[in-house]
Structure 1
Amino acid sequence: MTMKIRKLYYMMALVLPIAFSSCEDYLDKAVDAEITEDDVFRKFVTFQGFAEDMYQCVVDIANRDIDGMNNWNWGDEFLPGIHTERMGVFDNNGDYWYGINGVNHSVFMGNSNLLTDFGGWNSHPQRGYWNYGWLGIRKANMCLDKLDQLVEPYMGAPLDEQKNLIQGQALFFRGYFHWEILRAWGGIPYIDYTVDAGSVMREPRLSYWEVAERINQDLEAAAPLLPVDWDDTQTGQITGGENTGRITRGAAWAIQGKNLLYAGSPLMNGVMTGNYDYNVDYCKRAAAAFAKIIDLADQGIYELVPMEERSNNFYKNDATQPWTKETIFTNSASQDNAWNTAGDLMANFGGWEHHLSPTQNYVEYYGDLNGLPITDPDAVYDEMHPFDNRDPRFYTDIIYDGMTIAFSEDAVNKGDNIAQFYLGGRHRGSGNSDSGYSWYKFRPIRRGMDDGFQKTFRVNCPKVRLADVYLMYAEAVNEAYGPNVAPADIPNSITAIEAVNRVRIRAGVKPLTDKYTSDKLTMRETIRTERAVELAFENHRWYDLRRWYVGHLSKYKEKYCLDFDKDHTYFTKRLYLTKVFEMKHYWMPFPTADVNLYPAFDQNPGW
């Protein structure tokens, strides 16, 4: 494990989970170790080792295991690269089947063979929400089923505490893995028992809300069993200072809130009721869960790190694992970021034509330096100088024409250190930028692949960070109570406006004005714009556009580039492509082999 999780507990996890998840008789046939089920589950140290393999099932979208190269974003953020379309890791013009049936380059499906594919480019096991989600659910159920076998505490820590930690982690992961599948595919069976290897599966698909409620029950039960900080437990003190990345109470509340907010979002409410607006009850429940995390932030457990340290949420210049007090939950088993780094570099810096270019329409979400939209009459924005006087996050997220993009001696000698995104420029087209921009958020562009960057760089994309919580809280509160109401039924609550302003102020942007917070509908669009900017490229946008039930609208299907000349005498916004997004694309298709197993497991509409 990484993220400073000590390997003490992980000593058994690489072998035993595979044995248990395939067939318990496998243990009787092991050649290199005489290990029984009792040996594993009787002692906390080995039981926790088994439990920690659930962490390995969390999809790491920014890691080479997925070969995703930032292509998890299927919304309106990027123009696709040439190689991207060919590999099918983009949406392949609406044909989501490409990443479902038999193709392992998919953040959704992953590799089909979890037990034997451990070598080579095409056979490297790749975690997907579907394959590793169900694997993680099985491991969680095994932990819960075997909990009574735990009788030997570790190094004098209380047995009850250690049982609670195992149970809390298992309940969390069972809920979390179901949620990842639910939000992409819709209603599924909820598996809360260990399925026998020889049993015949006949569980029917539940409705979206039925699954969401089961997830909520597991997360609600997990939270009090988990510590706010593992270092504060007697068990955690055994590995004191090296527990970063373990599941906490805050992580349980965060996923609980996200699950409830999604359940209350227009798409999900529409599927259940026919009314494609927010469900107020679910929004209230989501706000209450998020408020508990905000309360922890007010106590100093979490914090929005200073703007100059915000990149530490994603990468660190010393190549260590990224983590800050803003991180609430993320994949904690990361590796050197070789494939991502090499693949997403522009061709001039060793890339492989995967390069994705931020769209002009997405860049327009970044306002001016005073926090006003660039369309506001009072904005300090000049169409003939579009890269000047912008929101500070524009300069941390986007590479624009004339920006210094590489500092290696070789790059300077070749003249590659300054971005040339104008038509005919060195970095425009042919595996470089097709839109007039490149993305900067997830790495310092200081070296190319050939001078060590590939081997020394690590990137992480948090599943939930505090800024996301503030914005989700604001969304839930705005829809249930209004923009300027601190809910009386939520202890120590703040208004939706205050929650958004905390994120803006950290970024160096002025607080919202009354013009953009005047009523619920106005505030709704303000929050959505703020999410686009603060959480750009972090695997939220495609899900947001779907749950808001706007993905089919032309505004979000049309992708624009910006054409301009070397001397910036003109700037022309040009439609580059219109992506395919039909009603069926609101849900991923189930693998054909799975829906053919039994009639109660039906395919999603349109697929």
Structure 2
Amino acid sequence: MTIFKKYIIILTAFSALCWTGCKELDLAPENTFTDLTYWDSEAKAQSVLNTAYSQLYGSSRFFYNEGASDNAYNGRGDTEGAASLAAGTYDPSLGRLQGEWNSNYTGIKTCNILLENIDRVPDMDEGNKARMMAEARFIRAFLHFQLMTWFGDVPLLSRDITIEEAQEVIRTPKAEVLGFILDELEQISLTLPTRQDLPDSERGRITAGAAMALKARVHLYEGQWQEVVQATENLINGNAFGSYGLFPSYEGLFLPENEYSQEDILSLQYVPQFRTWGQFFDMAPLSAGARLNALAPTQELVDSYMTSEGLAIGHPDSGYDEENPYVNRDPRLTATVVYHEYEWEENGTTRTIYIKPGTDPDSSAPDEYVPGSSSTTTGYYTRKYFDPTHLVQFASGLNLMLIRYADVLLMYAEAKNELGQLDESTWNLTIGALRERAGFDAATALQFNSGLSQEDYREIIRNERRVELAMEGLRIFDIRRWRIAEDVLNGWAHGAKFGPPSEDGGYLRVNLRSFDPSKHYLWPIPRDERNLNSNLTQNPGWN
């Protein structure tokens, strides 16, 4: 356990105590951190920063954001509002909207308190102070980015406001929020240490590489292609912002023994027994010890994985066999999704997972698909990020990667293609390298094809993002920025071929969805916020 992780553990409980009741933006209380007598040591300043780290993001949204997309289905409950968001059945009162608003602004407040009070610490090392301020500015920029991405115009809080000011705050135009985020990331990328500069005891802290990678993602979501190229090339070429690369094994990348690999740019920090996440208790096969299945991959996700020849399953030369669908497929499918007759490996033993109804030799058949049962709702379970060292109820200390180097390569490939600059060298550096790492060896999968059009490569790159980053919480942002949500979130989401042949070729109809492009590309401002502050205007199409 690194020293940095120990700090995070201690502050998780402390932050919960300090921020109890800190919900609506306009009701954020003054608290321990604003007491001028508090700032008497560098350790106390560090404790505030660690609180901000703990408010950066959470494991529940990391996983259940997939359920808001076409990659997965939240079939039991409405965790993080995923079921409502995917089905298009929500309104401004949805709890996820208020929760997103609350948690991001709570973290922003923590950052602003640190930035405005750290100068009060006596005799503080100037280098440490500059670094801590840069880390707080990164977190503040990240949280504003989350808010802007979901809501569009949002209040930009670059300082800690009073309760009275909060009751009258207005939404800042998105362009201004965007400019603030990008300026902050550019400035702090020159102050933060690189990955290689960090001692082992401080692994997991925000680095210059994280700032540059987040900057690339911000530009990506805005379709600013030349800027994406510039930011990603800073990470691909040279070591000025840290040296990164692909971890040799796709499956191994998500195992605890390979944390802090050369692919990890920014991660949520967890530690066994002290600070854990436990979503796999409701995602893994029941025979592996799960309680039930609440988040299951869809057939649409499974169908997006190519054959071993690098061809879509619908291609006439793909060799895909619908009656034997999981053979000769992209190896990343097996590393991500549990399907019928999957060979589940855990702690040196292997057993077969039977999901198709009526196939399990075990009479209890815990994993078989049964409508209305506790088993999978789609005919699939999840494997990626399964921690074989997990504690009781799947409590895991495995870090969750928010940004990894594979994403940087995918951003670069997409931007180069949109600029009309995708060539063989770019392909080999990005998509070719990702597929080779995944385990492809067929020339049709690995080699650049000069006969394909820009539109052909657009679809290839978009699908590569989907399969490479599946179940990592990013698909919802991609389908929104590509403006294809009305295509992929309208109609039935499907499961495996366990249904009546007369309906959709036998593929289970698991969830009827609706996406209205006239309003769903922006979330509504939460109803409670507008009730408390009439200056907060609403997004188009919402009341």
- What TM-score results when the alignment is normalised by the length of structure 2? 0.83
1:464 aligns with 2:406: no
Quick check: 2:490–2:515 contact (8 Å CA) kept in 1? no
1:477 counterpart (407, 413, 416) = 416
AA in 2 matched with 1:500: I
Distance in 2 between residues matched to 1:580 and 1:541, nearest whole Å: 17
Q: 1:194 to 1:363 in 2, by over 3 A?
A: same
Quick check: 1:171–1:222 contact (8 Å CA) kept in 2? yes
The residue that corresponds to 2:530 in the other structure is 595
Within 5 Å, which residues of 2 pair with 1:376-415? 376-405=315-344
Q: Deviations over 1:236-284 (max 9, x none)?
A: 6xxx3211110100111111111111122xxxxxxxxxxxxxxxxx211
Q: 1:57 to 1:595 in 2, by over 3 A?
A: same
Deviation at 1:338, TM superposition (A): 6.0
Q: 1:422 to 1:516 in 2, by over 3 A?
A: farther
Quick check: 2:427–2:448 contact (8 Å CA) kept in 1? no
AA in 2 matched with 1:250: G
Q: 1:369 to 1:135 in 2, by over 3 A?
A: same
Quick check: 1:357–1:434 contact (8 Å CA) kept in 2? yes
Distance in 1 between residues matched to 2:475 and 2:106, nearest whole Å: 26
Q: 1:179 to 1:3 in 2, by over 3 A?
A: farther
The residue that corresponds to 1:149 in the other structure is 120
The residue that corresponds to 1:134 in the other structure is 105
Q: The residue matched to 2:158 in structure 1 has which SS?
A: coil
The residue that corresponds to 1:428 in the other structure is 369
1:504 aligns with 2:503: no
Quick check: 1:551–1:557 contact (8 Å CA) kept in 2? no
2:352 counterpart (418, 429, 432) = 418
1:301 counterpart (227, 239, 243) = 243
Quick check: 1:344–1:354 contact (8 Å CA) kept in 2? yes
Deviation at 1:396, TM superposition (A): 0.9
The residue that corresponds to 2:203 in the other structure is 244
The residue that corresponds to 2:514 in the other structure is 580
Q: 1:299 to 1:263 in 2, by over 3 A?
A: closer
Distance in 1 between residues matched to 2:269 and 2:79, nearest whole Å: 31
Quick check: 2:283–2:296 contact (8 Å CA) kept in 1? no
Distance in 1 between residues matched to 2:204 and 2:80, nearest whole Å: 32
Residue correspondences, number: 514
Q: 1:559 to 1:372 in 2, by over 3 A?
A: same
Q: The residue matched to 1:330 in structure 2 has which SS?
A: strand
- What TM-score results when the alignment is normalised by the length of structure 1? 0.75
Q: 1:3 to 1:241 in 2, by over 3 A?
A: closer
Quick check: 2:278–2:396 contact (8 Å CA) kept in 1? no
Distance in 2 between residues matched to 1:497 and 1:4, nearest whole Å: 39
Distance in 1 between residues matched to 2:80 and 2:136, nearest whole Å: 35
Structure 1: 5+ residue stretches without partners: 29-35, 111-128, 154-158, 265-281, 486-493, 566-570
Distance in 1 between residues matched to 2:429 and 2:324, nearest whole Å: 32
Tell me the percent identity.
25
Distance in 2 between residues matched to 1:312 and 1:170, nearest whole Å: 32
Deviation at 1:149, TM superposition (A): 2.7
Distance in 2 between residues matched to 1:134 and 1:174, nearest whole Å: 9
Deviation at 1:298, TM superposition (A): 10
The residue that corresponds to 1:220 in the other structure is 186
Distance in 2 between residues matched to 1:336 and 1:44, nearest whole Å: 24
Within 5 Å, which residues of 2 pair with 1:23-422? 37-38=36-37, 40=39, 43-62=41-60, 70=64, 72-81=66-75, 83-85=76-78, 89-91=82-84, 93-97=87-91, 101=93, 103=95, 106=96, 109-110=98-99, 129-153=100-124, 159-229=125-195, 232=197, 240-264=199-223, 282-296=224-238, 301-307=243-249, 310-316=250-256, 322-333=259-270, 337=276, 339-405=278-344, 417-422=351-356
AA in 2 matched with 1:301: S
The residue that corresponds to 1:454 in the other structure is 393
Q: Deviations over 1:315-353 (max 9, x none)?
A: 42x7xx943221111212565656413222344555444
Q: 1:196 to 1:499 in 2, by over 3 A?
A: same
Deviation at 1:84, TM superposition (A): 3.0
Deviation at 1:311, TM superposition (A): 4.2
- Which has the larger displacement, 456-465 or 293-302? 293-302
The residue that corresponds to 1:535 in the other structure is 469
AA in 2 matched with 1:398: V
Deviation at 1:600, TM superposition (A): 3.6
Deviation at 1:38, TM superposition (A): 5.0
AA in 2 matched with 1:401: H
Quick check: 1:314–1:323 contact (8 Å CA) kept in 2? no
Distance in 1 between residues matched to 2:53 and 2:71, nearest whole Å: 29
Structure having greater relative contact order (Cα 8 Å, sep ≥ 6): 2
The residue that corresponds to 1:522 in the other structure is 456
Structure 2: 5+ residue stretches without partners: 23-27, 360-364, 500-504
2:382 counterpart (433, 439, 463) = 439
Q: Deviations over 1:8-40 (max 9, x none)?
A: 698778658975986557589xxxxxxx63552
The residue that corresponds to 1:278 in the other structure is none
